[in-house]
Amino acid sequence: MSILDTFVAHAPALIVAIPLLGAFLVQLVGRLHEKAKVVFALLTILLTNCFLYLLTYDVFTNGIRTYIFGNADLTLPVVRILFEVDAMSIYMALISTTLILVAFIFSWVYMKDNTGLDKFYTLMLLLTAGMLGMVFTGDIFNFFVFLEITGISSAALVAFWVHKAEAVEAGFKYILISAIGALFVLFAIALLYGQYDALNIAVLAQSIQFTFLDKIALVILLVSLAMKAGLFPMHMWLPDSYSRAPAPVTIGLVAATLASFYGVLRVIFSLYGGIYSGTDLALLSTLTSTKFMGSLLIGLALLAILVGVIMALRQTDLKRLIAFAAVAEIGYMFLGIGTWMAAKTVHVDPDGIATAISILPYGNLALQGGIFHLFNDAFDIGLLFLVAGVIFFVTKERSLDNLSGLARHMKATTIFFIIGLCAVAGLPPLNGFASKLLLYESTFQLNPILGIVAIVGSILLLAVFVKVFYAAFMGPDLIKTNVHKEPRSMIIAMGILAAVIIIIGLFPDLFLTHFVEPATDALLNFSSYTNAVLIGGV
Amino acid sequence: MIYNIPYLVVVGLILIGLFAVMFKRNLIKIVIGVTLIESGVNLFLITLGFRKDGVAPIFTGLPEGVNYPADMALPVPQALTLTSIVIGVAVLALMLSMIIHLYRHHNTLDVSKIRRLKE
């Protein structure tokens, strides 16, 4: 066994352990030199990335990986925790680590005048460890623990600028939402544990009967995770915390929000996957509730899109405006899931007897669109937040009323803003277009109104950001003279995101077949997820 | 019936906690509401592991004549509760420290006077 094989074998544990260890080592390393902290944090996240690439290769060639902490064999007492890494987990982990890497590069200059930077990097690395744990774990209580780690560290990061009253207020709001959400997740876990005497997602998924208590647990899990993912009407914390946090933290928060969205996906497709993605005729009785839930999600998603863009239109605070655009983008992702659920239909023979249940092809297309959009949302909204961060760093202004003529001084930022603007509004040839086209096509087949609302939402997003472009970048010069060029580290950070956006925008089919489709298949293939634990000898 | 009382207490604690979080204006009372919800959930977990006439689930110190594992209280919910309590302490500490900062900024604990982030 070569050293590389050993690394691959232990990669799932190491990917979570390295940021966790690094988080506390930063405190020691920070004593050496001021810049040592950020260099060390960058190295930690780069190392994590290296292991993640190894694991990515392994999972995409050999299928689902399980990693056991504790007893490998099932003799009593069974004391163990299990990580289960499939293509969807990898997909999420790649998004999170890339965003955190960009955030660290961006913070090189952005945070340099702050005190307590060692704590900043500690919290950022803890946030990374929490998110990666959430997406890798195969144990539902472990998921709760990582959810809390993510919640606590991101709330502390939102309130990092404690000298600003609004930042502390936003942080308090966030911790309140996240603590209550996580406690209800724990309550639902207890409900499931009480019935099935198991905490492993695969084991639970296998034995779930969809009793009344299961339905209660499902509703509690979905509501609290959707609240943490910022679905309308539970999005009220999102604009506050996104807009008041320092720009590198906002990027981390985008990733943390998506990790909660991953929780929603796991609950629907793995924990309750037997009911939702099953096509057995015995599931006929659950069909109505599935369709109802799909319609509910679609309704909330459409409202999220409309409310998000309309609220964004009337904002004057740049970061708050982008945060409302993020609410709309989250709506698009839920639209994909909702359409998938509503696309489940029963086939009836002429005598009125049900012969088969199937998910119509456009349902899977919508799900693919939603999952693709998850990636695009992270990168487009992330890029726009970085641009807002640069503007705040250079001018110390956050209100659009006081900004103008920035294009004269910050050419690179202007170009990156245009890229982000086009991507978020879904203009070809950028990545947002590919995923939104999938969503338009598939939702149109379910009901034309859905497709129309989705398109209108995109057009309004374009209007929102064109308005920002004219207000901030065009027009006469600012009266203030201290506008200077953007630092190079910020250009690199934005450049990474912009490069990914352009490359994926130019070759969406490659990305679709190599990442999105495996991730979607991993979600839809319920039996392979459970069998990896139950039959794979673990 | 007597065994159902803990579940009623659980529901009561969670509802009182939710009420406090939603309708109280004092920040400290809101935090008390969160801890009430947390106590309710912890009590629920512990109650799930209850077994009539069960002994403490200590593997090595098993008394004579006790069957393993049939006569033990379930150990897993107790482990979960311990973890949950530790996490709860961290959340509580963070919330209270944020309240200290909010008090310094606004000189009040009244939510309606603190709220600046609107629309």
Let me know if residue B119 belongs to a domain: no
Contact between chains at A193 and B77 (C-beta distance less than 8 A): yes
Query: What is this model's ipTM?
Result: 0.94
* A152 touches B: beta carbon within 8 Å: yes
Name the percent of chain A lying above pLDDT 90.
52
Please say if the pLDDT value at position B117 is more than 70.
Answer: no
Contact between chains at B99 and A172 (C-beta distance less than 8 A): yes
Please say if the pLDDT value at position A415 is more than 80.
Answer: yes
Q: Which of A143, A148, A168 to mutate to test the interface with B (most CBs of B within 10 A)?
A: A168
pLDDT value of position A361? 85
* A244 touches B: beta carbon within 8 Å: yes
Nearest to B95 among A175, A190, A199 (CB): A175
Mean pLDDT to the nearest integer, B29-42: 95
pLDDT band at A409 (very low <50, low <70, confident <90, very high): confident
- Which of A210-224, A482-496, B6-20 has the least mean pLDDT? A482-496
pLDDT band at A480 (very low <50, low <70, confident <90, very high): low
Chain A residues whose beta carbon lies within 8 Å of the beta carbon of residue B46: none
Domain total in chain A? 1
Let me know if residue A52 belongs to a domain: no
Chain B residues whose beta carbon lies within 8 Å of the beta carbon of residue A133: none
Chain A residues whose beta carbon lies within 8 Å of the beta carbon of residue B106: 165
pLDDT value of position B91? 94
- pLDDT tens by residue, A418-434: 999 999 988 888 888 98
pLDDT band at A36 (very low <50, low <70, confident <90, very high): confident
pLDDT value of position A373? 93
Of A381, A262, A271, A392, nearest in space to A328 by CA:
A381
Q: Return the DSSP state at A426.
A: T
CA distance A261 to A281: 30
Structure tokens belonging to residue A220: 């509690």
Chain A residues whose beta carbon lies within 8 Å of the beta carbon of residue B38: 179, 183
CA distance A78 to B41: 24
Contact between chains at B44 and A193 (C-beta distance less than 8 A): no
Please say if the pLDDT value at position B67 is more than 80.
Answer: no
Let me know if residue A315 belongs to a domain: yes
Nearest CA distance, A81 vs chain B (angstrom): 12
Bridge partners (DSSP) listed for residue A137: A83
DSSP A289-312: HHHHHHHHHHHHHHHHHHHHHHHH
Let me know if residue A434 belongs to a domain: yes
CA distance A442 to A294: 14
Q: Are A352 and A337 within 8 A, CB to CB? A: no
Residue range of the domain that includes A410: 278-517
Let me know if residue B60 belongs to a domain: no
Of A68, A65, A45, nearest in space to A55 by CA:
A65
Nearest CA distance, A139 vs chain B (angstrom): 12
Domain total in chain B? 1
Please say if the pLDDT value at position A190 is more than 90.
Answer: yes
Q: A350: buried, middle or exposed (CB in 10 Å: 19+, 13-18, 0-12)?
A: exposed
CA distance A381 to A257: 12
* A166 touches B: beta carbon within 8 Å: yes
CATH of the domain at B23: 1.10.287.3510
Of B92, B25, B102, B60, nearest in space to A180 by CA:
B92
- pLDDT tens by residue, A425-473: 888 888 889 899 999 999 998 889 999 999 999 999 999 899 889 888 8
Higher-confidence position of A237 and B72 = A237
Q: With the CA atoms of A256, A262, A263 and A265 taken in that order, what torsion angle do they form, in degrees rounded to the nearest 10?
A: 160
Q: What is the mean pLDDT of chain A?
A: 89
DSSP B31-96: HHHHHHHHHHHHHHHHHHT--TTPBP--STTPPTT--TTTTBPPHHHHHHHHHHHHHHHHHHHHHH
* A176 touches B: beta carbon within 8 Å: yes
Mean pLDDT to the nearest integer, B13-29: 93
Contact between chains at A172 and B95 (C-beta distance less than 8 A): yes
pLDDT value of position A76? 63
Which chain B residue has its CA at the smallest distance from A240's CA? B117
- pLDDT tens by residue, A196-248: 888 889 888 888 888 899 999 999 999 999 999 989 888 889 998 999 999 99
Q: Within chain B, what is the greatest distance between any pair of CA atoms?
A: 67
- pTM comes to 0.93
Let me know if residue B17 belongs to a domain: yes
pLDDT value of position A482? 64
Please say if the pLDDT value at position A411 is more than 70.
Answer: yes
pLDDT value of position A479? 63
Contact between chains at B30 and A148 (C-beta distance less than 8 A): no
Q: Are A360 and A307 within 8 A, CB to CB? A: no
pLDDT value of position A140? 92
Mean pLDDT to the nearest integer, B93-109: 92
Mean pLDDT to the nearest integer, A31-54: 90
Which chain A residue has its CA at the smallest distance from B49's CA? A194
Residue range of the domain that includes B23: 2-53+67-114
Please say if the pLDDT value at position A305 is more than 80.
Answer: yes
Q: A307: buried, middle or exposed (CB in 10 Å: 19+, 13-18, 0-12)?
A: middle
* A158 touches B: beta carbon within 8 Å: no
β-strand pairing of A344-348 with A354-359? antiparallel
Residue found under tokens 């019935």:
A195
Chain B residues whose beta carbon lies within 8 Å of the beta carbon of residue A186: 41, 45, 84
Contact between chains at A244 and B117 (C-beta distance less than 8 A): yes
CA distance A335 to A457: 12
* B106 touches A: beta carbon within 8 Å: yes
Please say if the pLDDT value at position A182 is more than 90.
Answer: yes
Please say if the pLDDT value at position A77 is more than 70.
Answer: no
Cα atoms in the Cβ-side hemisphere of radius 13 Å centred on A71: 8
- pLDDT tens by residue, A338-377: 999 988 888 888 887 877 888 888 888 999 999 999 999 9
* B46 touches A: beta carbon within 8 Å: no
The contacts of residue A449 (CB under 8 Å, 6+ apart) are none
Nearest to B98 among A76, A77, A168 (CB): A168
Chain B residues whose beta carbon lies within 8 Å of the beta carbon of residue A148: 87, 90-91
Chain B residues whose beta carbon lies within 8 Å of the beta carbon of residue A137: none
Let me know if residue A119 belongs to a domain: no
Residue B10: alpha-carbon gap to chain centroid = 10
Higher-confidence position of A526 and A97 = A97
Please say if the pLDDT value at position A481 is more than 60.
Answer: no
